[in-house]
């Protein structure tokens, strides 16, 4: 555990990955080189909805995120998650390329970095919060916050409910990412339901507006959720969507209760976006 990383909250991607092993970084570089080659042979989808998903826009990722928003704007149109779900549920043909940007977990850098850049770009996004972490303080809740990541030495600052209200007032959507960032498959049905319902009730009480969208923590089918069990449970709790961590475009006929998303880091180059937004 490095002292510097636990003393103050992480504000840069550079510090966020400072504890990664040499092997992890070497693998990342090899993968990056492969994607650069493969991207040259691909062209973006002709039609469909892509759900890029981020966790953070750190201070040193602002420039990259602004560039990515420009790149996406040149490829298609930004739509809200309400519109994306309505398009999927209508079962009408989806002509054109659309981006519904999403964020998971609830970090403070959404309010300080991501939202201002989204507003500048005229884009909206859906932000999925772990309600048990919203309103925590890095002084009083240090142990809980250090537990958020397995490494145990990454101190992340989370949003306040005032931040969430300001984001919603600015046109962003706040959705649920459970109360405790759980693996749903490790819980019995009553506990999984409580995570879905409790987080929804808290968001609705704090924001004074409906919370219609649910994003499954970790998001892997048969590892972190099972289908149709957990999407069905979310539907019964009143959610209109269930978002996963599996990649791919959403086209006509795809279910809003099994939304595929493309994980993106704000520092990635355009060739990486081009690669992942192609199929």
SS3 assignment for 35-76: HHHHHCCCCCCCCEEECEEECCCCHHHHHHHHHHHHHHHHHC
Nearest residue to Zn ion, scored by beta-carbon proximity: 104
**Residue 185 and residue 250: Cα distance in Å, rounded?**
25
Q: How far is the CB of 267 from Zn ion (least distance, A)?
A: 19
Kindly report whether the peptide bond that precedes residue 228 is cis, defined as omega within 30 degrees of 0.
Answer: yes
Q: How far is the CB of 217 from Zn ion (least distance, A)?
A: 5
Phi-psi region for residue 207, left (φ > 0), alpha (ψ -120 to 50) or beta?
alpha
**Residue 265 and residue 273: Cα distance in Å, rounded?**
9
**Residue 39 and residue 48: Cα distance in Å, rounded?**
19
In the complex with Zn ion, which residue's Cβ is closer, 104 or 262? 104
Q: How far is the CB of 177 from Zn ion (least distance, A)?
A: 6
Q: How far is the CB of 219 from Zn ion (least distance, A)?
A: 8
In the complex with Zn ion, which residue's Cβ is closer, 35 or 81? 81
SS3 assignment for 173-237: EEEECCCCCCCHHHCCHHHHHHHHHHHHHHHHHHHCCCCCEEECCCCCECCCECCCHHHHHHHHC
In the complex with Zn ion, which residue's Cβ is closer, 76 or 217? 217
Q: Return residues touching Zn ion (CB under 5 A).
A: 104-105, 217
Please give the DSSP secondary-structure letter assigned to residue 112. I
In the complex with Zn ion, which residue's Cβ is closer, 45 or 105? 105
In the complex with Zn ion, which residue's Cβ is closer, 51 or 275? 51
In the complex with Zn ion, which residue's Cβ is closer, 87 or 265? 265
Q: How far is the CB of 178 from Zn ion (least distance, A)?
A: 9
Q: How far is the CB of 110 from Zn ion (least distance, A)?
A: 13
């Amino acid at each position: 555990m490095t002292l510097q990383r636990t003393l103050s909250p992480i504000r840069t991607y550079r510090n966020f990955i400072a504890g990664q092993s040499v092997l992890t970084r070497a693998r990342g570089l090899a993968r990056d080189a492969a994607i650069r080659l493969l991207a040259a042979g691909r062209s973006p989808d002709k039609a469909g909805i892509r759900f890029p998903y981020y966790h953070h826009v750190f201070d040193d990722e602002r420039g990259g995120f602004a560039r990515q928003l420009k790149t996406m704007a040149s490829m298609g149109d930004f739509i809200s998650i309400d519109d994306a779900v309505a398009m999927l549920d209508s079962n009408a043909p989806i002509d054109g390329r659309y981006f519904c940007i999403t964020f998971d977990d609830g970090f403070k850098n959404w309010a300080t970095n991501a939202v201002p850049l989204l507003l500048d770009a005229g884009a909206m996004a859906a932000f999925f919060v772990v309600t048990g972490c919203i309103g925590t303080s890095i002084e009083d809740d240090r142990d809980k916050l250090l537990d958020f990541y397995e490494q145990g030495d990454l101190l992340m600052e989370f949003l306040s409910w005032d931040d969430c209200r300001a984001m919603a007032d600015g046109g962003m959507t706040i959705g649920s990412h459970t109360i405790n960032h759980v693996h749903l498959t490790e819980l019995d049905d009553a506990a999984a339901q409580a995570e879905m319902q409790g987080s929804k009730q808290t968001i609705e009480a704090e924001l004074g507006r409906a919370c219609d969208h649910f994003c499954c923590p970790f998001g892997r089918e048969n590892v972190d959720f099972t289908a149709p069990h957990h999407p069905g449970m979310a539907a019964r709790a009143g959610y209109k969507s269930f978002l996963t961590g599996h990649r791919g475009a959403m086209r006509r006929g795809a279910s809003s209760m099994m939304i595929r998303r493309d994980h993106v880091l704000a520092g990635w180059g355009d060739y990486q976006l081009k690669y992942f937004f192609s199929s």
